[in-house]
Chain A
Amino acid sequence: AQSVTQLGSHVSVSEGALVLLRCNYSSSVPPYLFWYVQYPNQGLQLLLKYTSAATLVKGINGFEAEFKKSETSFHLTKPSAHMSDAAEYFCAVRGGSNYKLTFGKGTLLTVNP
């Protein structure tokens, strides 16, 4: 079975500041990990994915995430926040041949001018 915990339901940063969104996972098999972003009244857009290749994964819009097996973490970062980054972010895990995604509860990112 898989599970995801996203620490912090709401994160607020200033424009230009570092963005750090936390995700810890649990999986009984080697996981595939994903970050998605959701804008109001829209579906989920894939930001990046970890599939057992490089532990540091680069995604779209300047985001990246690092897979740390020892910490069971997959935190999302961006060096400099932009106003357009304001949205809800979801971390998701999938285990091996089990194709369903298990999502965290999401983190709402607010970017202040």
Chain B
Amino acid sequence: DTGVSQDPRHKITKRGQNVTFRCDPISEHNRLYWYRQTLGQGPEFLTYFQNEAQLEKSRLLSDRFSAERPKGSFSTLEIQRTEQGDSAMYLCASSSTGEEEPQHFGDGTRLSIL
């Protein structure tokens, strides 16, 4: 049973650059979630997909952020024109259908903005 896989694990970039993260969910899971975790805080919800449809987006997701899940399998999260405040751990989770199903998390991508 392979878990949720995220790539890269670490990303260091200069302010103003664009970055893209990838998430591969557990294969049979049709739901995929992105969260952001800053130092000393719990994860905060960013967006949610069911299959390829993006069903909910947080107000935290400014117009510089975009997420896709084109074929209902892997997902990408892109941040354009990065800012210092974007430095955080970006976590991906997936779950199967059913209200009681828990979300399973990947190890995250840590983004550092210089």
Which residues of A does B touch, CB under 8 Å?
4, 32, 34, 36, 41-46, 49, 51, 90, 92, 96-97, 99-106
Contact = CB atoms under 8 A, between A and B. Distances in A.
A106 to B, nearest CB: 5
B41 A100 contact: no
Contact of B100 (A32, A92, A106): A32
Contact of A96 (B42, B58, B99): B99
A45 B95 CA distance: 13
B103 interface: yes
> Closest 5 CB pairs between A and B?
A103-B42, A43-B105, A100-B45, A51-B100, A44-B105
Interface string B66-101: 000000000000000000000000010101000110
Contacts of B45: 100-102
A89 B107 CA distance: 15
Contacts of B4: 43
B99 A45 contact: no
A92 B42 CA distance: 9
B42 A43 contact: no
A106 B44 CA distance: 12
Contacts of A105: 40-42
Contacts of B99: 32, 51, 96-97
A105 B42 CA distance: 5
A90 B100 contact: no
A101 B103 contact: yes
19 contacts: A32-B100, A42-B108, A44-B105, A45-B105, A49-B100, A51-B100, A90-B42, A90-B43, A92-B42, A99-B31, A99-B48, A99-B56, A100-B48, A100-B56, A100-B58, A101-B35, A101-B103, A102-B45, A103-B44
B51 to A, nearest CB: 13
A90 B4 CA distance: 19
Contact of B102 (A41, A49, A96): A49
A101 B37 CA distance: 13
A108 to B, nearest CB: 9
B21 interface: no
A101 B95 CA distance: 12
